[in-house]
Amino acid sequence: MVSQCPSRHGAHGPTKRDRVSVGKTTRATAPPGAAELFKRAAIFVAVALVPVLIWLLFNVILIAVGAILIATLLAIVAEPFTRWVKLPRATALVISGLIIITIVSAAGYLFGTRAAGQLQQVLQLANQAIDNIRASLQGSDFGKLILSRVQSGNFSFTGVVTGLFSVSLSFLTALVIAVFGGIYLAAQVGLYRDGLIQLLPHRLRASGAETLEDISNALRLWMLGQMIGMAVIGLLSTLATLLIGLPSPFALGLIAGLFEFIPYVGPILGAIPAVLVAATKGLDNTLWTIAAYTLIQQMEGHLIAPIISREMVYIPPLVLILGIVAITTLFGLQAVIFAAPIAVILFVAVKKLYVRDSLGDETIIPGENA
């Protein structure tokens, strides 16, 4: 009789510790080596330094954005020649550059002297209006309190405008770099686009290429819409000031049109010189000027801008406003010119890379189907 000896595992079979998975090898997780730790530390330091580099190199970023806008302008003017005339892209870009140079040169030759004289007159009249306002405020205790609060004793409208538009060596250098950078970018856009894409891992290159294409289309449509808006507002402002009888209507219309490039904030800044000039001509002219510019901005906000947004590209107003305020607050007044296009770039990138690709949500991306 064979006695049944209990297994060494006991009556209940092998213990959990003794079980071996068939076809699988249990492998302990090894701690990361020195090379892996160094790689992770380098990535962490690089990510942490990004805000610092943006802060230190923001002037370079502004020049790069300026080059992108110039390249976009060249592409906009060249597009009819490539789409309808079927010219090669290089030939169309040359024609585009010649057209832009001709328009700028002709405008400078025909209106440069007149505009310069009118701008000088606008500055003189604006300073005269500020002096009158200051004298009126000095006549009351409340007015003196206001003057002391805003410290307007040394305020000069001419000084402010001169500070904004002063031509320094650094400004000219940045302008030249931006112009030539825009020309090179427009001529070899594929080279620079492919170079940026090659910096990404292989799994992200398709998404990166789509994102760059969407940003390019959104900027092109946004800039085309801004150019149309600038032309319309400049023309309406010139006609309004001419009908009211203000001096230098061409210069006032030019100022309003140029400031229109800055969404929402620019129209207010563009109206200030006209109101100051009207203040030197009496209360009636001042009220008519305020009413005219208010009507023009209402037309722009409720008629012109919606049509342009529907046909071109729509960016939520709050996104542009907060973008302009944030960028100007962080980097100074010189950044306000490029704050809107930077906001457009960031808005498209966030919607494409985060909302659609990371979260997987369906969303409309400006310029995607352009």
Element (H, E) at 132: helix 89-137
For the chain, the average pLDDT equals 80
Q: Which two tokens stand for residue 109?
A: 């030759």
* Residue 236, pLDDT score: 94
- Give me the mean pLDDT over the 354-360 stretch: 89
Structure tokens at 152: 């307007």
The predicted pLDDT at position 48 comes to 80
Place of tokens 């040394």: 154
pLDDT of 111 reads 60
Whether 243 shows a pLDDT value over 50: the answer reads yes
- Tens digits of per-residue pLDDT, 182-196? 999 999 999 999 999
CA distance 228 to 226: 5
Residue range 338-356: mean pLDDT, rounded: 91
Above pLDDT 70, what percent of the chain?
A: 79
Give the mean pLDDT of 131-140: 74
For residues 309-336, average pLDDT: 82
Tokens coding 215 = 């940003």
Residue 18, classed as helix, strand or coil, is: coil
Domain regions of the chain by residue span: 55-358
Mean pLDDT of 195-213: 91
Using a pLDDT cut of 90, give the percent of the chain over it: 34
Residues 333-346: what's their mean pLDDT? 87
Closest CA to 219 of 79, 60, 366: 366
Q: Cα separation of 149 and 363, whole Å? A: 48
C-alpha to C-alpha distance for 42 and 34, rounded to whole angstroms: 12
Rounded to whole angstroms, the Cα distance separating 332 from 202 reads 38
- Largest Cα span, the chain: 129
pLDDT score recorded for residue 11: 46
Half-sphere exposure for 42 (CA within 13 Å, toward CB) = 6
- pLDDT computed for residue 235 by the predictor: 94
More confident residue, 295 or 150: 295
Instruction: Report which of 281, 57, 347, 68 is spatially closest to residue 183, judged by C-alpha positions.
Output: 68
Q: What is the pLDDT of residue 91?
A: 94
> What confidence score (pLDDT) does residue 188 get?
93
The predicted model scores a pTM of 0.74
Token pair 């296009």 is found at: 341
DSSP type of residue 112: H
Confidence (pLDDT) at 8: 44
Residue 26: CB atoms within 10 A of its CB come to 6
CA-to-CA dists, residue 122 to 271, 283, 321, angstroms = 12, 18, 28
**pLDDT digit string (tens) for 11-31?**
444 444 444 444 444 445 556
- Where is average pLDDT lowest: 111-125, 218-232, 273-287? 111-125
Model confidence over 251-304: pLDDT tens digits? Answer: 888 889 989 988 888 888 889 889 888 888 888 999 999 999 999 989 888 888
Nearest to 197 by CA among 219, 215, 184, 179: 215
Categorize the per-residue pLDDT at 116 as very low, low, confident or very high, splitting at 50, 70 and 90: low
Query: What is the pLDDT at residue 181?
Result: 95
Sign of CA dihedral 312, 318, 324, 330: negative
Q: CA neighbours within 13 Å on the CB side: how many for 47?
A: 6
Would you say residue 321 has pLDDT above 50? yes
Q: Which of 126, 110, 61, 124 is nearest to 271 (CA)?
A: 126
Q: How many CA atoms lie within 13 A of 323 on its CB side?
A: 20
Q: How far apart are CA 289 and CA 122, in angstroms?
A: 14
DSSP string for residues in 227-254: HHHHHHHHHHHHHHHHHHT-S-HHHHHH
**pLDDT tens per residue, range 87-109:** 999 999 999 999 999 988 877 67
Q: How far apart are CA 283 and CA 331, in angstroms?
A: 38
> What average pLDDT does range 48-60 have in this prediction?
82
Do the beta carbons of residue 367 and residue 313 sit within 8 Å?
Answer: yes
